[in-house]
Structure 1
Amino acid sequence: MTRQLLCICLLALLPFTAQAELKDENLLHSLPTGYKIDFQARKGNMIMTEMVPQAESVKNWTEMLTSQIFLGLKNATPEAFQAFMQKSWAASCKDAEFATVAKGEENGYPFVVWIQACPLNTTTGKPEHTFVKAIRGNDSFYVVQRAFRSSPTNEQVTEATQHLRSVTVCDTRLPDRPCMKVDKPAQ
């Protein structure tokens, strides 16, 4: 099942050319235009994928998109995860700021979206702004983050917000939480 979740997450990120059938619970989101997958790993129950613009790397980035799937984590709430992230962020960033953008339920799953801002990350010497969406699924917990090592432009804010709005969880086993067909890359 772990391999299947990773594959489905990756299918949602790759260019589309042929139909694939999703199975069970799935995190769906797209790879932004001009981005590449630069890092993937599984550590314990977490599968993480980091994506950056084509000319950048996870070691040297100005923008990054990160998805995390916490396999089997079913009891955490999006609000508790948000509180944990904000506490960690505030401990590492003087004058950190936070704003909840939206919370509620999408496709039957509770979610919360928020923004975290650090005027000066002492590690990089740059400001950092992160847009985060956390979703509690029935099988796992999902987090997608879009980070900028600068103050994002209005266009970047719009793009990040629209991307997080499109992030969804679905489950082929539940008729009230349908999955759309996802194209898979040609072999």
Structure 2
Amino acid sequence: MTRQFLSICLLALLPLLAHAELKDENLVHGLPPGYKIDFQARKGNMIMTEMVPQAESVKNWTEMLTSQIFLGLKTATPDGFRAFMQQTWAASCKGAEFATVASGQENGYPFAVWIQACPLNTSTGKPEHTFLKAIKGNDSFYVVQRAFKSNPTSEQVTAATEHLRSVTVCDSRLPDRPCMKVDKPAQ
């Protein structure tokens, strides 16, 4: 089992762990309140985790949080990945819109955050809005996205934006990019 896969599993186990320490390079983000991990898989060099509200599933969702870890991918850049995703989205959605939110360096890693909107996803018959963050690590490439099969409310936009802001990559091997200990929450 890879360290990155263990890091994703850590998200599900956070309430059970006391003083766990992350090792090497890791994607770190929490599970939003009311969400559950509903799907995890590894295909080739990609590890994907899909999280949905408690009453939903990955087959029937209104909101979904997805993380992807592309193990060993060192040539992709956040801005290049954003351009690819926008090109793909535009080809599959008439009237697609995009907005770049931020790009630069965070915790020593290049990142980009953007929003994609589709007024009518032909496969669902609903609008779809996706907030994305891509981070180029030293070991792997990371993407986290929060999608809505609707026009999100201002509260949903705030929650998605705040969640992406909290997504980070750390590396226990690098003193300037440390991984913090995960403490068991008070009960």
Provide TM-score, normalisation by structure 1.
0.95
Runs of 5+ unmatched residues, structure 2 = none
Q: 2:3 touches 2:26 (CA, 8 Å); kept in 1?
A: no
**Residues 95 and 113 of structure 1: CA distance in aligned 2, closer, same or farther (over 3 Å):** same
Q: How does 1:140-155 map to 2 (within 5 A)?
A: 140-155=140-155
Aligned pair 1:38/2:38, yes or no? yes
**Cα offset, 1:13, TM superposition:** 4.3
Distance 1:80 1:184 in 2: 38
Structure 1 stretches of at least 4 aligned residues deviating more than 4 Å after TM superposition: none
Residue 15 of structure 2: aligned partner: 16
Distance 2:25 2:71 in 1: 11
Q: 2:15 touches 2:184 (CA, 8 Å); kept in 1?
A: yes
Q: Percent identity?
A: 80
- Name the stretch that deviates more: 173-182 or 157-166: 173-182
Residue 133 of structure 2: aligned partner: 133
Distance 1:7 1:182 in 2: 14
Residue 170 of structure 2: aligned partner: 170
Q: How large is the RMSD of aligned CA atoms in angstroms?
A: 1.3
Distance 1:127 1:6 in 2: 32
Q: How does 1:12-91 map to 2 (within 5 A)?
A: 12-17=11-16, 18-91=18-91
Q: 1:130 touches 1:148 (CA, 8 Å); kept in 2?
A: yes
Distance 1:184 1:97 in 2: 41
**Cα offset, 1:175, TM superposition:** 0.3
Q: 2:14 touches 2:182 (CA, 8 Å); kept in 1?
A: no
**Cα offset, 1:4, TM superposition:** 1.9
**Cα offset, 1:7, TM superposition:** 1.0
Q: 1:13 touches 1:29 (CA, 8 Å); kept in 2?
A: no
Counterpart of 1:16, as a letter, is: P
Q: 1:58 touches 1:64 (CA, 8 Å); kept in 2?
A: yes
Residues 102-124 of structure 1 deviation map (CA, whole Å, 9 limit, x = unaligned): 11100000000000000000000
Counterpart of 1:3, as a letter, is: T
Give the aligned length.
184
Counterpart of 2:138, as a letter, is: N
